[in-house]
């Protein structure tokens, strides 16, 4: 039985070592394809794999077509918009994610980027503090909750909206105040942090009208997916509202245009949210254990294509 790790953006070595240990302890063989530059390398590597571990790597129908032995693919992370679920299902391949395993890493990056933004990207000019500011979390899942926990330590006033959670569910841990809808979140807050997945419903949903509801000197922070942003509308808004900042861990398609907004825009060169040793270990080993458990007991707990 062969388990392939195919990661264009590799895990930390310590995580690969941990995955190898789990895979070999269970009597399987590990194959490693890292930093590939051509999709044909992925096609070749996956040809004899029984199981596949990926990060944001695109598992397209073509990849599935080349993977004649594949029975399970695990996205070591939260968002699974990079998996062609229909293609997996058509071949009876189980697709899973590893929810929660990298959420603290993303949440810590959110806070780091926020400090950077309110201190004017460390340009030496007087900035402002996060304490007492109103932080809105759009979606209150694993990442949103971790951001809330840390932001509370900064003395921020935390609000959240999640279309899948009731007010009681959001307020149960006593950290965030629930608001009635997405517009209310933007209207209430100084800073809004996006934690929604990229789905047909959310794509391009963060547009001019929504972001324009932010308070004066508002900040939009995106560590979710670039696809949820309506980039032309956000650019137009930032031209009209010179008080707003946009900071993102996912470089927009229109990066060059945003980069002209000097002092009001920052993007990491490569998505960094889950790029810690701890997150790599958590998500990678969880993926390996889920694969072993699936082969041994048929456990499909984290299946996303059902
Ligand atoms: C996720 O959905 O888990 C994050 O976006 C992390 O993606 P990455 O594994 O490509 O860093």
The reply to whether 107 and 245 lie within a common domain is: yes
Measured from the CB, is residue 271 less than 6 Å from ligand 1?
A: yes
Q: What is the pLDDT of residue 243?
A: 98
Mean pLDDT across the chain, nearest whole number? 98
Is the residue at 255 inside a domain? yes
Same domain flag for 292 and 254: no
Half-sphere exposure of 152 (CA within 13 A, CB side): 12
Phi-psi label, residue 219: left if phi above 0, alpha if psi -120 to 50, beta otherwise: beta
Does residue 130 sit in the same domain as residue 143? Answer: yes
* Calculated CA dihedral for residues 153, 159, 161, 164, nearest 10 degrees: 50
Residue of 78, 104, 147, 196 to mutate, ligand 1, most atoms within 8 A of C-beta: 78
Q: Are residues 86 and 12 in the same domain?
A: yes
Tens-place pLDDT, residues 217-258: 999 999 999 999 999 999 999 999 999 999 999 999 999 999
Residue carrying the six token digits 């399987």 = 28
Nearest CA to ligand 1 atom 10: 56
Distance (Å) from CA 183 to ligand 1 centroid: 27
Within-domain flag for 303? no
Does residue 55's CB lie within 6 angstroms of at least one atom of ligand 1? yes
* Average confidence (pLDDT) over 191-197: 98
Considering the domain architecture, whether residues 251 and 199 belong to the same structural domain is answered as yes
| Structural domain total, the chain | 2
Containing structural domain, residue 248: 103-267
Candidate from 10, 19, 56 with most ligand 1 atoms within 8 A of CB, to mutate? 56
Residue 306 lies in a domain: no
In a shared domain, residues 115 and 249: yes
Is the domain of 169 the same as that of 205? yes
Which pLDDT score is estimated for 5? 99
Between CA 147 and CA 144 the distance in angstroms is 5
Q: In terms of pTM, does the model score above 0.95?
A: yes
102 CB near ligand 1 (under 6 Å):
yes
Pairing of strands 2-7, 51-54: parallel
Mutate to test the pocket of ligand 1, among 7, 11, 77, 83 (most ligand atoms within 8 A of CB): 77
- 77 Cβ closer than 6 Å to some ligand 1 atom: yes
Within-domain flag for 304: no
Phi/psi at 296 (nearest 5 deg)?
A: -85, -40
Q: Is residue 173 part of a domain?
A: yes
> 155 with 206, same domain?
yes
Does the Cβ of 56 fall within 6 Å of ligand 1? yes
* 36 lies in the same domain as 148: no
Tell whether 50 and 120 lie within a shared domain: no
Structure letter (DSSP) for residue 165: S
Q: Are 222 and 120 contained in the same domain?
A: yes
- Residues 61 and 82: beta-carbon distance below 8 Å: no
pLDDT digits (tens, 9 = 90+) for 26-56: 999 999 999 999 999 999 999 999 999 999 9
CATH number at residue 282: 3.40.50.720
Beta-sheet strand order (sheet of 265-267): 177-178, 157-161, 134-138, 191-194, 219-222, 245-248, 265-267
Q: Do 223 and 124 share a structural domain?
A: yes
pLDDT of residue 294: 98
* pLDDT computed for residue 280 by the predictor: 98
Ligand 1 center from residue 56 Cα (angstroms): 6
């Amino acid at each position: 039985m062969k388990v392939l790790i195919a990661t264009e953006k590799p895990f930390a070595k310590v995580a690969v070592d941990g995955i190898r240990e789990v895979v070999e302890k269970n009597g399987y063989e590990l194959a490693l394809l890292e930093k590939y530059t051509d999709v044909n390398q992925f096609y070749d590597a996956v040809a004899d794999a029984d199981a596949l571990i990926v990060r944001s790597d695109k598992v397209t129908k073509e990849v599935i077509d080349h993977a004649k032995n594949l029975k399970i693919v695990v996205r070591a992370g939260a968002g699974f918009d990079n998996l062609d679920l229909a293609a997996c299902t058509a071949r009876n391949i189980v697709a899973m994610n590893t929810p929660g395993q990298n959420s603290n890493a993303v949440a810590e990056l959110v806070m780091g980027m926020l400090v950077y933004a309110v201190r004017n990207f460390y340009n030496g000019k007087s900035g402002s503090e996060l304490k007492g500011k109103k932080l809105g979390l759009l979606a209150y899942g694993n990442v949103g909750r971790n951001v809330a926990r840390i932001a509370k330590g900064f003395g921020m006033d935390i609000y959240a909206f999640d279309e899948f959670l009731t007010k009681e569910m959001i307020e149960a841990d006593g950290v965030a105040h629930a608001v009635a809808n997405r517009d209310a979140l933007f209207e209430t807050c100084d800073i809004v942090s996006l934690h929604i997945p990229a789905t047909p419903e959310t794509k391009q949903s963060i547009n001019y009208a929504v972001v324009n509801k932010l308070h004066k000197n508002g900040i939009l922070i995106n560590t979710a997916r670039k696809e949820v942003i309506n980039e032309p509308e956000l650019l137009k808004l930032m031209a009209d509202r010179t008080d707003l900042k946009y900071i993102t861990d996912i470089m927009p398609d229109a990066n060059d245009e945003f980069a002209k907004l000097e002092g009001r825009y920052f993007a990491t060169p490569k998505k960094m949210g889950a790029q810690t040793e701890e997150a790599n270990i958590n998500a990678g080993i969880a993926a390996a254990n889920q694969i072993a458990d699936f082969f041994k007991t048929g456990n499909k707990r984290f299946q996303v294509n059902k």
